[in-house]
């Protein structure tokens, strides 16, 4: 409160503050008459476990303020203690009308998250806006050809990496999987069990080494099971000139569109395998999509575009 009083900001832009029962920075801004804009990069504002995903399926059991379902499902870190604490936090925020009373405008990086929030908050009268995340493409030298399919990211259930392994039983192109996580050893065992010699796990790779692996790919696979908001790996793939095969989840279809890759139902492994074969067997189409993908991320996610968008959202509350 003292900082806001002394600094006298034109507005407060809040990020990732969902960790306390009392979001004091918002209360202080409200008391000082300072408008508040909040960026939501996950679903914590509508879901106690951040993901609207219960560990197995996409889940909306808490819609309608039924936050006790988080306890029944034990869906917060698979822990009863965390689930109880998260449900209580959600009820406290709802009781205090934190989201109605203290925030003037909500910003989302995807239309999917915006629309999902509206579904959960049908009785709330609040402002919404879309603010796309900026991405610097200058460090990338796009390559429009490649010799393998690529996944890079966390190897964890909701990322759907097991879908790639299952699809690998139906395709023959080389597949490289970069990353680490709790599902790694299980998936390695599955690959060994079925003698999938065309699948290679590279472990965690970062920085320029990862860029080189990315440049060598023909396309990138993003098989997420949960509703990812705005996956950073898609920006990286596009900047490197790679089309993306992505799941019909969250904000993924918005980024890929009809020209920058292909979409599939992550509950249908056969569809993923067919989609991988389709893109693998058409190098010219891969190149065309990669060119369009690079142009798209360079055009739509530049610093200038971001600046104009964020200022427009600021002006809406000032």
Higher pLDDT, 22 or 288: 288
The per-residue pLDDT for range 111-138, each reduced to its tens digit, is: 999 999 999 999 888 899 999 999 999 9
Res. 48: pLDDT tops 80? yes
Burial (Cβ within 10 Å: 0-12, 13-18, ≥19) of residue 80: exposed
Quick one: 162 and 291 in the same domain?
Answer: yes
Is residue 36 very low, low, confident or very high in pLDDT (cuts 50, 70, 90)?
very high
| Residue 123 lies in domain | 2-134+303-315
The per-residue pLDDT for range 159-214, each reduced to its tens digit, is: 999 999 999 999 999 999 999 999 999 999 999 999 999 999 999 999 999 999 99
Q: DSSP secondary-structure letter at 157?
A: G
Q: Is residue 142 part of a domain?
A: no
Q: Is residue 124 part of a domain?
A: yes
Alpha carbon distance 79, 21 (integer Å): 19
Token readout for 203 is 């472990």
- SS3 for 176? strand
Alpha carbon distance 244, 286 (integer Å): 9
Average pLDDT, rounded, for the chain = 95
Quick one: 156 and 278 in the same domain?
Answer: yes
Cα dihedral 230, 169, 258, 300 sign = positive
Res. 139: pLDDT tops 80? yes
Q: What percent of the chain has pLDDT over 70?
A: 99
- Longest Cα–Cα distance of the chain, Å, equals 66
Quick one: 124 and 162 in the same domain?
Answer: no
Q: Is residue 143 part of a domain?
A: no
Kindly state the average pLDDT of the residues 136-163: 97
| β-bridge mates for residue 278, sequence order | none
Identify the helix (H) or strand (E) that includes residue 229: none
Q: Is residue 104 part of a domain?
A: yes
**Helices 269-280/161-168 angle, 10° precision:** 70
Alpha carbon distance 225, 184 (integer Å): 17
Res. 254: pLDDT tops 60? yes
Quick one: 62 and 124 in the same domain?
Answer: yes
- SS3 for 255? helix
Is residue 2 very low, low, confident or very high in pLDDT (cuts 50, 70, 90)?
confident
Domain total of the chain:
2
Higher pLDDT, 22 or 95: 95
Quick one: 164 and 263 in the same domain?
Answer: yes
Q: Is residue 144 part of a domain?
A: no
Quick one: 91 and 199 in the same domain?
Answer: no
pTM tops 0.85: yes
Quick one: 114 and 161 in the same domain?
Answer: no
């Amino acid at each position: 409160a003292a900082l806001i009083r002394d600094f006298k900001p034109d507005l407060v832009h809040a990020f990732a503050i969902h960790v306390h029962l009392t979001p004091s920075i918002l209360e202080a801004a409200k008391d000082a008459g300072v408008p508040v804009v909040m960026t939501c990069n996950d679903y914590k504002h509508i879901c106690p476990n951040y993901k609207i995903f219960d560990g197995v399926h996409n889940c909306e059991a808490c819609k309608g303020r039924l936050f006790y379902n988080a306890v029944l499902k034990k869906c917060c870190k698979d822990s009863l203690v965390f689930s109880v604490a998260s449900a209580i936090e959600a009820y406290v925020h709802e009781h205090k009308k934190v989201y109605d009373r203290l925030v003037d405008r909500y910003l989302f990086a995807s239309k999917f998250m915006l629309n999902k929030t509206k579904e959960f908050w049908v009785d709330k009268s609040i402002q919404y806006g879309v603010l796309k995340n900026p991405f610097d493409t200058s460090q990338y030298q796009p390559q429009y050809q490649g010799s393998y399919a690529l996944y890079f990211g966390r190897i964890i259930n909701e990322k759907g990496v097991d879908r790639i392994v299952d699809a690998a039983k139906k395709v023959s192109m080389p597949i490289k999987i970069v990353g680490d996580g709790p599902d790694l050893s299980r998936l390695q065992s599955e690959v060994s069990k079925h003698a999938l010699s065309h699948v290679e796990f590279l472990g965690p790779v970062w920085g320029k080494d990862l860029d080189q692996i990315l440049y060598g790919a023909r396309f990138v696979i993003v098989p997420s099971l949960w509703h990812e908001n705005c996956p950073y790996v898609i920006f990286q793939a596009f900047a490197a000139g790679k089309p993306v095969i992505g799941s019909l989840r969250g904000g993924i279809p918005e980024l890929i569109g009809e020209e920058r890759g292909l979409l599939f139902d992550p509950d249908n492994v056969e569809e993923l395998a067919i989609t991988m074969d389709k893109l693998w067997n058409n190098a010219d189409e891969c190149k065309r999509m990669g060119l369009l993908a690079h142009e798209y991320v360079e055009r739509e996610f530049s610093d200038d575009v971001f600046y104009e968008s964020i200022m427009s959202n600021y002006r809406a509350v000032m």
